[in-house]
Structure 1
């Protein structure tokens, strides 16, 4: 049984400045599970993570780690929780002036009293875990995009976190690299006892990885539950999102019915042909 904490949000309202992105969020990310946060652009996925991590002040509500209300903890207690929390940022967030081994070692040097030999052994182990032990002496600009993502994951894991947050881990990667990173995250969940929360646009990753899914939209939580429950939903908004069925908006911003399948099959050649012949119906003559 996992000892990793659950993450519970009670009435949480998030946003920037005077702008509210989502409000009254009541969400529980189960301990020891891999949860994914999905939703349209601007729905508040990355903003939610920043509020849980206290990188942004909340506009209302509370965040619980296990049974601990973060707003009631002392600064020292909050630091202890942060030290057991790993974060993989979208671009890896590596320091360009440091070699890879020193980027990975940085949290250990800042937050522990370990000797340098012990630190380097942990660094080698974590880099070997993500397949980068051969790249210890390289600088970030000498790494490919996929390597930087894996390096960021190694750094996020170097303190043996109880919680790991990943913001768009597969963004900017080709399909093969995305699948490899998905597999790596599954291996991490087996190797480390932790609660993982992943923000993503990647529906393939969601189906490959998620134990639990949260969908944000319309300034609220539209769904939370298992991937099987999400796939079985008949909610029109969720079905359009899951089926990647585009809609149109009129001048007032109102959503119109999804584009028909016939229109979806209209290809670029058809459109170019219609433009060249002056046809208005968008179809080429036979």
Structure 2
């Protein structure tokens, strides 16, 4: 069965005890057609880097790879599928980077990227463009610890679980592609990258309401304004809906207290930061 870009199948694992005899399990993997589409898109992005090695083309590559990783990380054969994709584009990737990007062993750039999500890779070196690490598609294995259960405890959290709030499941690949297209109109490339990462990592959940914000209504707000010394870094950004952002920047931001009485501390901090900005 194919659903949400996955291919589901049933298999009969070897029984570990008598009670499990005859039981079946369900797993999901990447359909061949989808794998071919990802490989084709990777080749297209790498050719763009090869033709124009600049921050914009590197940014397009990184945002696509990180978005694909975030979408498929709940897949049973996540690591295996992405290692296969990595092998299919290996020559093109390395030939492209060897010509245009510096290979470095400096770990701080990589360790600070995506909140340290790729820290375990590149210990012997990796490609970096002016302090901006270049993500390899097979680096999906950094998340392999989530796919293993120890002592009968399942460590992986289902990224598509609707939980108690019954929110929409995660962030779709279409959402990521939409944000990538929109990011090209943002002059600051660092803000463009982290704007996508913030929405993806929070699964589109608002910083104030705790509810899912559709990608078309997503506003990225600086917790500490730039004019007050804030930065475009990941930790200084938050997800707000268009309505929440409009009220926050209006002449009566205190209305947010009535809308979200359980978030008074956060609302107060955001409003005070804007007053500092105005001052």
Tell me: higher relative CO, structure 1 or 2? Use CA pairs within 8 A at least 6 residues apart. Answer: 1
Provide the TM-score with structure 2 as the length reference. Answer: 0.26
Q: Could you say which structure has the higher strand fraction? A: 1
Q: Could you say which structure has the higher helix fraction? A: 2
Query: Larger Rg: 1 or 2?
Result: 1
